[in-house]
Amino acid sequence: MELQQRVRQYIEQHDLFAPDSRVVVALSGGSDSVALASVLCDLDAAGALKLVGLAHFNHQLRRAAGEDERFCVRLAAALGRPILVEGEDVTARSRRDRQSVETAARAARHGFFERARRHFGAHVVALGHTRDDQAETVLLRLVRGAGLRGLSAMHPRHGALVRPLLSCRRAELRDYLAARRLAFVEDESNADVSIPRNRVRAELMPVLQARFNPRIVDTLAAEAQLAQDMLSWIEAEADKLLVRARHPATGGLDIEALQTAPSALTRFAVWRALNEAAGGRPVSYDHVEMALAVMRSPASSSRDLPGQRVERVGAALVLRSRAVGASGRVLAKAPNFFEYPLSIPGEVVLPAVGATLIAERRPALPGGSESVGPDRPGEPTAVVRDDLADGTWRVRSRCPGDWFQPVGLGGRKKLQDLFVDRKVPRDRRDLIPLVVSGSGRIVWVAGYGIDEAFRVTDPAQHVVVLRLKLLGGRS
């Protein structure tokens, strides 16, 4: 099968984007990203997508980085596409943020991808990861120690990032470029075996291929796909468990609900809850074991874990985030948990937030959501479908495992990730009201968007207008 057709088939199989989707290609100048840009140009001409631009990020880590940047600018001109170029001293960033260069580079690069997506008004950013990259990632995760999430490696879609080439081998992409006489740049750092991925590629993979399994790349990529399928199922079940196990009095997790679930599901749900409270710190298998030991203890007990303290409080497992005080002492913060029923029409006073949430029914709005404005600037307002308002909606603060599907994203997003992306301060996240349906699905994250399922799509639909009205002029 011709390469373009196989890539198109993979795009359709995983619903990466539609013919009217606006796509940006992340272009490093290496063979994989150059092949991706060329293939998507062809698919654009065939009506499979709209390739609206290229994006190059200069990490300023190598002497040749400047020439790579100039190569990408020339390639964009040859392909007839606009290009956005940015750069950052990643070494300085790693020192400033006390991170490894690899971690700092990834954070800088992904921040740029989102800026590029917004710059071009695009739906997604396409990355050039291949089947070989997938296999190497599985091995890296395995030797470092990884659970189901780690072994699932790179997903075809992660938020606004898509990977159309995960079914393609690196060698066949280079053959494709040679046949088209398309140049690319070689990253000399790929030969540096002090970098773990390069060591896996140069030393471990050839041994496995020659002495154990000549099709090791395909085998590992298939294992990643199986892990992704299993992960998708257990994430959905863990979300349900975390909602079901929410303890109304403490804001923690009901121990009986956790203990009656299958052990693998309990472990995964606790891992997710710990990760959300960890503030970006890594949570390991041992940390989950410690939390489970606290849960199983017959009396009150506690353990300090990354970014949090886990306590047994009566029948609940409570995760309290920790902040460093002026003296360097770790201070426990009590959760700002709240939950109230929401009548439609009706209103709910939220003392912790300093606001009232108002729900009103309206007939169809000819001007759309823009025709309903807040009483005062800074008061978030949303317009959602009235036919889904079944009388059991609630207003509450966030809980571990919360997720929703922002309009236009094409997939779900963890609430924690949304707050990180929007740079919401940690001490404000517990105070953002969520309107939740009777099934537990988030309808509206006040001030940050509604769920796709509740979007008004028919101008004739009756609607519910949700407004967060601030008390006493607070903002």
Q: What angle do CA 46, 47, 53 make, to 5 degrees?
A: 100
Distance CA 397, CA 340 (A): 10
Query: Distance between alpha carbon 221 and the CA centroid of its chain, in Å?
Result: 21
Q: Which amino acid is at 41?
A: C
- Asked whether residue 155 falls in the same domain as residue 68, the answer is yes
| Residue 375 lies inside a defined structural domain of this protein | yes
Q: Cβ distance 318 to 292 under 8 Å?
A: no
Q: What is the pLDDT of residue 332?
A: 41
Please tell me the pTM assigned to this model: 0.68
Number of domains in the chain: 3
Q: Is residue 201 domain-resident?
A: yes
Distance CA 350, CA 355 (A): 5
> 355, 395 in Cβ contact below 8 A?
no
420: domain range? Answer: 339-473
Same domain, 183 and 86: yes
Model pLDDT, residue 327: 36
Q: Quick one: pLDDT at residue 113?
A: 93
Distance (Å, whole) CA 475 – CA 357? 14
Q: In 10 A of CB 81, how many CB atoms?
A: 20
- Co-location of 167 and 50 in the same domain: yes
Per-residue tokens: 454: 């509740």
CB neighbourhood size of 445 (10 A): 23
Residues 292 and 343 in one domain: no
**232: in domain:** no
Write down the residue that tokens 């170029």 correspond to.
85
**Which of 283, 314, 332 is a domain's end point?**
332
Which residues does the chain have with pLDDT short of 70? 1, 248-250, 279-280, 322-336, 365-378, 391, 410, 471-475
Regarding whether 424 and 313 lie in a shared domain, the answer is: no
Residue 226 lies in a domain: no
> What pLDDT, in 10s, does the model give residues 153-188?
999 998 889 999 999 999 999 999 999 999 999 887
Of 297, 317, 332, the residue at which a domain comes to its end is 332
Q: Rounded to whole angstroms, how far apart are CA atoms 204 and 206?
A: 6
Q: Are residues 415 and 349 in the same domain?
A: yes
Q: What is the pLDDT of residue 44?
A: 95
Q: What is the pLDDT of residues 250-300, one digit of tens each?
A: 678 889 999 999 999 999 999 988 887 776 678 888 899 999 999 998 777
Q: Position of tokens 């030393």?
A: 203
Answer yes or no: do 212 and 318 share one domain.
no
Q: How far is CA 16 from CA 209, 218, 331, 380, in A?
A: 31, 21, 44, 31
> How far is the C-alpha of 443 from the C-alpha of 449, rounded, in Å?
9
| Assigned token pair, 67 | 């020439």
Residues 182 and 102 reside in one and the same domain: yes
> pLDDT tens for residues 78-113?
999 999 999 999 899 888 888 888 888 888 998 999
Amino acid in the structure at residue 326: A
Tokens of 415: 């609430």
Residue 379 lies in a domain: yes
One domain for residues 141 and 102: yes
Give the residue from 299, 332, 365 where a domain finishes: 332
Amino acid at 126: A
CATH number of the domain where residue 51 is located: 3.40.50.620
Per the rule left: phi > 0, alpha: psi between -120 and 50, beta: everything else, 177 is: alpha
pLDDT of residue 324: 45
Residue 72 lies in a domain: yes
Domain co-membership, 201 together with 81: yes
- Pair 321, 406 in one domain: no
270 and 296 both lie in a single domain: yes
How far is Cα 138 from Cα 150, in angstroms, rounded to an integer? Answer: 8
